[in-house]
Structure 1
Amino acid sequence: MQFTVGFKSDGKLGHVLIDGDDALVAALKLKAKCPAATIMYVRPRNRRGDNRHPPLPALSPN
């Protein structure tokens, strides 16, 4: 299952798509990749919304 994780890092907001068994695993994967990031939200992937606002590929841990 894919989750969208919203975060704040260096005063900028962003979101990435992360594969995970549940929301907690997805959030921890982002924290492992970017320890300074503040997790703002985790939600199941929404194909329509995520296609309109694509995630940042540079921070994607996949």
Structure 2
Amino acid sequence: MTIRYMVGTSESNRCLSVTVEAEDALIAALKVKHEYPGAMITYVRKANARGDLRHPHPDVAEVDA
């Protein structure tokens, strides 16, 4: 059974969060580390059912006109 995990990374003063489907948190972290080998894993948690972007930053939020 796969579960969606949110993995936070930090690389050269740039933070990034990635959603990954994996069997457990360790495998999710290893998948992200494989894609971004220079990044430091800062956290791994189960992804929010609502999508983790309930309150996005204004720069990435879509504006309804």
State the TM-score bracket (shorter-chain normalisation).
Answer: 0.7 to 0.9
- Structure 2 unpaired stretches of 5+: 57-65
Residue 22 of structure 1 corresponds to which residue in structure 2? 24
Larger radius of gyration: 2
Residue 33 of structure 1 corresponds to which residue in structure 2? 35
In the alignment, the residues of structure 2 paired with residue 27 and residue 39 of structure 1 have an alpha-carbon distance, to the nearest angstrom, of: 7
Q: Which has the higher helix share?
A: 1
Q: Percent identity?
A: 44
TM-score by length of 2: 0.74
Please list every run of at least 4 consecutive aligned residues from structure 1 whose deviation after the TM superposition is greater than 4 angstroms: none
Residues paired across the two proteins, number: 54
TM-score by length of 1: 0.77
- Structure 1 unpaired stretches of 5+: 55-62
